[in-house]
């Protein structure tokens, strides 16, 4: 989808701490309507903390967060779901003792209408056909790739406008990695704005419109994804070359 100039998510000068250790140092990031924005950097750079701050799972000490033009810095984290945000965390956080269908039902807990919930479940199973085959299976018995599909399908149950994806390819086989990135592009083509944290910088920048490079909690580089992909500075920061 061609992005618009209007940001649907704006993180402004975020400062975040774990105890006395500052994890984010004045981080400012914009996600525009219809964009895929990649957030890359070495391990420990602050990527996951940035997403956690954006979804208020780790509330920043200072700075502001705007979602669809509204300041949400101080709202309860759970209210962001109704406002159109979904977060697929690192490690997936599915309910392993529940079936695929039960996980999807939980993802649609805000949907009071059973018919709407059923439609969203069907849409998820259509997007991820493997989940249909595993519908009654306990989620914890599935492969890592299948669990990632479930985590994404569950997040999509509320039909969010803004999707935060944290390391969706981590630990997956090349076959599943390719499929997950195809899904990311398909979701974007349907209007989803996606903030993507990904260890595979090459693939992330390959699907993104723009990117930001984090280093020790600071944004040190940003720009069009194609430019970042070919940047010697990115290789120096990310790979130590």
Do 63 and 12 form a contact (C-beta atoms < 8 A)?
yes
Is pLDDT of 2 > 80? no
Do 65 and 72 form a contact (C-beta atoms < 8 A)?
yes
Is pLDDT of 240 > 80? no
Q: Where are the chain's structural domains?
A: 1-84+161-241, 94-159
**Average pLDDT taken over every residue of the chain:** 90
- Rounded Cα gap, residues 137 and 156, in angstroms: 20
Q: At 3, is the pLDDT very low, low, confident or very high (cuts 50, 70, 90)? A: low
Q: At 4, is the pLDDT very low, low, confident or very high (cuts 50, 70, 90)? A: low
- 3-class secondary structure for the chain? CCCCCCEEEEEEEEEEEECCEEEEEEEEEEEECCCEEEEECCCCCCHHHHHHHHCCCCCCCEEEEEECCEECCCCCCCHHHHCCEEEECCCCCCCCCCEHHHHHHHHCCCCCCHHHHHHHHHHHHHHCHHHHHCCCCEHHHCCHHHHHHHHHHHHHHHCCCEEEEECCCCCCCHHHHHHHHHHHHHHHHCCCEEEEECCCHHHHHHHCCEEEEEECCEEEEEEEHHHHHCCHHHHHHHHCC
Is pLDDT of 201 > 70? yes
| pLDDT-wise least confident of 75-79, 215-219, 234-238 | 234-238
Is pLDDT of 232 > 90? no
Mean pLDDT computed over 169-183: 87
CATH of domain 1-84+161-241: 3.40.50.300
């Amino acid at each position: 989808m061609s992005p618009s100039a209007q940001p649907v998510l704006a993180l402004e000068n975020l400062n975040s701490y774990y105890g006395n250790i500052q994890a984010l140092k004045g981080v400012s990031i914009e996600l525009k309507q219809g964009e895929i924005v990649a957030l890359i950097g070495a391990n420990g750079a602050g990527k996951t903390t940035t997403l956690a701050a954006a979804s208020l799972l780790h509330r920043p000490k200072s700075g502001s967060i705007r979602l669809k033009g509204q300041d949400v810095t101080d709202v309860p984290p759970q209210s962001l779901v109704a406002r159109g945000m979904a977060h697929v965390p690192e490690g997936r956080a599915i309910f392993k003792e529940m079936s695929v269908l039960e996980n999807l039902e939980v993802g649609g807990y805000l949907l009071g209408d059973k018919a709407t919930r059923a439609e969203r479940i069907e849409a998820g199973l259509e997007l991820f056909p493997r989940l249909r085959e595993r519908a009654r299976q306990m989620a914890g018995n599935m492969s890592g790739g299948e669990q990632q599909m479930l985590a994404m399908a569950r997040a999509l149950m509320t039909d969010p406008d803004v999707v935060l994806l944290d390391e969706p390819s981590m630990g997956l086989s090349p076959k599943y990695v390719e499929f997950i990135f195809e899904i990311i592009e398909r979701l974007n083509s349907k209007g989803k704005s996606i903030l993507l944290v990904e260890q595979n910088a090459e693939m992330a920048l390959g699907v993104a419109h723009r990117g930001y490079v984090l280093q020790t909690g600071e944004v040190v580089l940003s720009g069009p994804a194609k430019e970042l992909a070919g940047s010697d500075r990115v290789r120096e920061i990310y790979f130590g070359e």
